[in-house]
């Protein structure tokens, strides 16, 4: 199931340098961007989406700083914060609405996984390493990861992917860097609220 997305970073490695350079230009406070120099750079307002369409299988993996989706990155302690986390999670649990997949494609979500320290998940080993080397740094940079697997009965009808609902639902998201593999090959695209659709 994850074979497509696991191969994606290697297939699009040349694009990583271009995105890292862009992230560098916009980097203000996040010195760890310089260390990582990759698509994994944590930049407020910027999300990342890996998309792979292979036959009838569509996989989407959205990664975003929690700031973009809930407005903060600390553990939710107040009722208001907990409500924002719950609302973001509820929106992420409706991928067909979030990604505006064409009804004609007949896509059905067969599995989904949401991960974030804000959802009570433990940090990745990578985050633990960062926390060890920089104190409690990972709490200041919480991420939310959403992974979706769809089966589409008519994949030929899936000619585009519209991300407008992500921008509408999470207005703090200013742009999404997309790495896409589809029938027409691979591409790296940056989408914004004003130009939120991309073609497979």
**What confidence tens digit (pLDDT) does each residue in 8-30 have?**
444 443 444 433 433 333 333 33
For all residues of the chain together, what is the average pLDDT? 78
Q: Which of 92, 121, 87 is nearest to 109 (CA)?
A: 92
37 within a domain of the structure (yes/no): no
Do 163 and 195 form a contact (C-beta atoms < 8 A)? no
Range of the domain at 145: 3-9+48-172+180-186+195-199
Q: What is the mean pLDDT of residues 151-180?
A: 95
pLDDT at 41: 61
Mean of pLDDT values over 110-138: 64
The answer to whether the Cα torsion of 164, 147, 44, 32 is positive or negative is negative
Residue 26 falls inside a structural domain: no
Annotate 48-83 with DSSP letters as a single string. Answer: EEEEEEETTEEEEEEEEEHHHHHS--SPP-SHHHHH
Whole-angstrom Cα distance, residue 24 to residue 149? 32
The pLDDT > 70 percentage for the chain reads 70
The pLDDT tens digits for 41-52 are: 668 899 999 999
The predicted pLDDT at position 33 comes to 36
Is it the case that residue 39 has pLDDT exceeding 70?
Answer: no
Q: Beta-carbon neighbour count of residue 11 at 10 Å? A: 14
Q: Is residue 31 part of a domain?
A: no
Q: Taking residues 107-120, what's their average pLDDT?
A: 94
| 99 assigned to some structural domain | yes
More confidently predicted of 95 and 131: 95
Rounded to whole angstroms, how far apart are CA atoms 48 and 187? 14
Structural domain includes residue 106: yes
Residue 19 lies in a domain: no
What's the domain count of the chain? 1
Q: Which of 187, 121, 141, 129 is nearest to 160 (CA)?
A: 187
Q: Is residue 24 part of a domain?
A: no
- Structure confidence at residue 168 (pLDDT): 96
Residue 78: inside a domain:
yes
């Amino acid at each position: 199931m994850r074979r497509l997305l696991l191969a994606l970073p290697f297939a699009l490695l040349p694009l990583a340098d271009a995105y890292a350079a862009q992230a560098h230009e916009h980097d203000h406070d996040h010195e760890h961007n310089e260390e990582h120099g990759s698509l994994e750079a944590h930049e407020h307002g910027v999300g990342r989406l890996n998309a792979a369409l292979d036959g009838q299988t569509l996989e989407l993996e959205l990664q975003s700083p929690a700031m973009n989706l809930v407005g903060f990155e600390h553990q939710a302690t107040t009722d208001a914060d907990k409500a924002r986390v719950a609302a973001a999670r509820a929106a992420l649990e409706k991928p067909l609405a979030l990604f505006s997949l064409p009804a004609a494609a007949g896509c059905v979500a067969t599995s989904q996984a949401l991960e974030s320290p804000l959802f009570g998940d433990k940090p990745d080993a990578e985050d633990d390493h960062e926390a060890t080397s920089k104190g409690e740094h990972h709490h200041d940079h919480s991420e939310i990861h959403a992974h979706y697997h769809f089966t589409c009965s008519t994949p030929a009808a899936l000619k585009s992917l519209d991300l407008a609902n992500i921008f509408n639902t999470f207005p703090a998201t200013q742009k999404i860097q997309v790495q896409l593999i589809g029938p027409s090959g691979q591409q790296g695209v940056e989408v914004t609220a004003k130009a939120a659709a991309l073609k497979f």
